[in-house]
A and B are shown apart, each in its own frame.
Chain A
Amino acid sequence: KQEVTQIPAALSVPEGENLVLNCSFTDSAIYNLQWFRQDPGKGLTSLLLIQSSQREQTSGRLNASLDKSSGRSTLYIAASQPGDSATYLCAVISPGSSNTGKLIFGQGTTLQVKP
């Protein structure tokens, strides 16, 4: 059974710092991996999606990498800002669920960027 883990559960950094959020999954045979942002009391906003054949995706100050062989993905945030404070979730789709698109989520990392 696929399990997704995000460590640490919480992270606090000063503004301007570059940081890395981690996501690991137990079954390396994933179809794709998606990173989301969730603000308190709000829904999920999709940040980046990496297909199984890709190694990384970039959007602005965000860069997500994927290493299927080791069962890991990282989300790199450059020059962090207080507005980046949120919970970041990663989710995977297993190949058997590629048609239905069922996501398996990690529990998230709550990031606080201090001014």
Chain B
Amino acid sequence: NAGVTQTPKFRVLKTGQSMTLLCAQDMNHEYMYWYRQDPGMGLRLIHYSVGEGTTAKGEVPDGYNVSRLKKQNFLLGLESAAPSQTSVYFCASRTTSRDNEQFFGPGTRLTVL
């Protein structure tokens, strides 16, 4: 049981390039989330999904797109990367049980030059 995994672990992009971050979970969780973590800002929600085929905007969605074509995967896309998107990105998932406990992946460190 791998839990929540993220690919890649590190990436360097040039301004204007695009990329996709992959999050996978093997816990059969309905809900999945993408956060970014920046010094002095804490973790902020980018987008989330309450089930396969659904997505919704979080606190800081601009410049990002997401897709949830399969229940176990949640993709975060950057169509035209900007230096302001340099950050550490975390994916999380949770079940529909009452406690709402979220489980996090190891993170992807992205640098945009």
Mark A residues whose CB is within 8 Å of B: 31-32, 34, 36, 41-46, 49, 51, 89, 91, 93, 98-103, 105-108
Q: Chain B interface: which size bin?
A: 20 to 34
What residues of chain B lie closer than 8 Å to A43, measured between beta carbons? 4, 90, 104-107
Task: Out of A46, A99, A105, A107, name the residue touching B101 (CB < 8 Å).
Answer: A46
**Complex alpha-carbon distance, A42 and B33, angstroms:** 17
CB within 8 Å for A106 and B105 given contacts A32-B99, A100-B31, A101-B31: no
Pairs of residues from A and B, 10 with the lowest C-beta to C-beta distance, nearest first? A44-B104, A43-B106, A105-B43, A107-B42, A43-B104, A105-B42, A101-B100, A49-B101, A43-B107, A43-B105
**Complex alpha-carbon distance, A41 and B44, angstroms:** 17
Per-residue A-contact encoding for B10-45, CB less than 8 Å = 1, 0 else: 000000000000000000000101000000111111
**Complex alpha-carbon distance, A108 and B94, angstroms:** 22
CB within 8 Å for A44 and B99 given contacts A102-B58, A107-B40: no
**Complex alpha-carbon distance, A105 and B42, angstroms:** 6
**Complex alpha-carbon distance, A100 and B59, angstroms:** 13
Instruction: Kindly count the residue-residue contacts between A and B in the assembled complex, taking CB atoms under 8 Å apart.
Output: 62
Nearest CB on B from A37, distance (A): 11
- Asked if B78 is at the interface of the complex by the 8 Å CB criterion, the answer is no
- Asked if B50 is at the interface of the complex by the 8 Å CB criterion, the answer is yes
Closest to A99 in B: B50
Task: Out of B43, B92, B100, name the residue touching A32 (CB < 8 Å).
Answer: B100
Nearest CB on A from B15, distance (A): 25
Interface centre among B94, B98, B100, B109 (most CB of A within 10 A): B100
What residues of chain A lie closer than 8 Å to B99, measured between beta carbons? 32, 49, 51
Instruction: Pick 9 A–B contacts, CB within 8 A, sort by A.
Output: A34-B102, A41-B107, A46-B104, A101-B100, A102-B48, A105-B42, A105-B44, A106-B42, A107-B40
